[in-house]
Amino acid sequence: MFCTLNTHKVDMDKLLGGQIGLEDFIFAHVKGQRKEVEVFKSEEALGLTITDNGAGYAFIKRIKEGSVIDHIQLISVGDMIEAINGQSLLGCRHYEVARLLKELP
């Protein structure tokens, strides 16, 4: 689960942080349907940016247009990355997940 500030849309630029005010609205985005996706890393970079909610869950923040990930219809902004090659990522920060993805052959 993650929360956005002042928007009901899955907008990773509006993730809730410490900047909440009295006039702000918080929208909670809950876990959706689990999907398992096989990705062939045909380029050096997959073309995604990762963030986390500070509670051990990493999410896709941005997908670069025309990238490897952009061509996979099942993957979208806001998706939680739970595991890579069977290795659980629960409890990992975004930079740890990014490092693991970068190290994939």
The contacts of residue 34 (CB under 8 Å, 6+ apart) are 82
How confident is the model over 72-85, as a mean pLDDT?
88
Residues in the chain: 105
Tokens matching residue 52: 């986390």
pLDDT of residue 5: 64
Pick from 48, 29, 63: nearest CA to 94: 48
Task: Report residue 104's pLDDT band, with 50, 70 and 90 as the boundaries.
Answer: confident
Q: In which residue ranges of the chain is CATH 2.30.42.10 found? A: 32-104
Pick from 53, 51, 54: nearest CA to 3: 53
- The domain made up of 32-104 is a member of CATH 2.30.42.10: yes
Each residue's pLDDT tens digit, 2-29: 677 666 666 666 666 666 777 777 767 6
pLDDT at 70 over 80: yes
